[in-house]
Amino acid sequence: MLLANKVAIISGGATGMGRAIALKFAEEGCHVAVADINVPQANETIRGVVERGREGLALECDIASSEAVQAVVDQVMTKFGRINILVNSAGTTAGVAGGSSVAAISEGEWDRIVAINLKGAFLFTRAVVPQMKKQRDGRIINISSLGAVHPPTVSPHYHAAKAGLLGMTYDTARELGPFNIRINAIMPGPIRTPFYDKLIAAMGEAEKEAFFECLGKEAPLQRMGRPEDIAGAALFLASDLSAYVTAAVIPVSGGLPLEAPAAN
């Protein structure tokens, strides 16, 4: 197993990409703590972890609170005595169809989106680094977005936060490399997760399927991504398969931003 007896914290692991990463890690021998504000769904993820023969913790966490983040880290250390992997997967968007004009974003909404998508990753990174330094071993994976460098619509607060994750990845990888702490990022493209729920809430089922089919056709691979596609990349970055990889940003986007081939 690629992650035998490792311990991972996954923020935002209750649903979507975070859940898929948690289950993939568990399949490869990793014990998992899920930190999420959605406790019922976090418990569902941990049930899947346990079913795969690993130990798990579902911990309620407001990712924008340093006290809440530190409490998660303390509980994981109490139970497992180590933290090998951190996945900063928690995130949210305003969920406004067509995006959010910079002129229409309130200061409070800007602060909320940046806090969840960027500040939370900083807080978790800051909280786990002392233990990882002590171990001289650690892997941190930041889940950014293709929108950080190639925005598909107008959402400046969300895309700025995701671009900030890339900057933090490069900077911390340089700082922490001498401690054998590897820090990388994944840039998902269109992945079918609850991320889209607000955008498609008013659509009927047939309209939703048509929406996802159309969105998938924009990629050279001609389909929407699955959470499991992100989990595979995360497993590579969390394991020794990537032992000499740090400060890397991996697009998992079906080939975007390349244009899809013309229909024959």
What are the catalytic residues?
158
Residue 43 to residue 22: CA distance in whole angstroms: 12
Q: Rounded to an integer, what distance in angstroms lies between the CA atom of residue 133 and that of residue 1?
A: 24
3-state secondary structure of 57: strand
DSSP code per residue over 129-187: HHHHHHHT-EEEEEE--GGGTS-SSB-HHHHHHHHHHHHHHHHHHHHHGGGTEEEEEEE
With a CB cutoff of 8 Å and minimum separation 6, the contacts of 103 are none
Smallest CA-to-CA distance from 222 within 260, 171, 174 is with 260
Cα 131 off chain centre by: 21
DSSP label at 109? H
| Contact between residue 178 and residue 136 where contact means Cβ atoms under 8 Å apart | no
Whether the Cβ atoms of residue 17 and residue 11 lie closer than 8 Å to each other: no
CB-CB contact of 9 with 35 (8 Å): yes
Cα dihedral sign, 96-200-61-76: negative
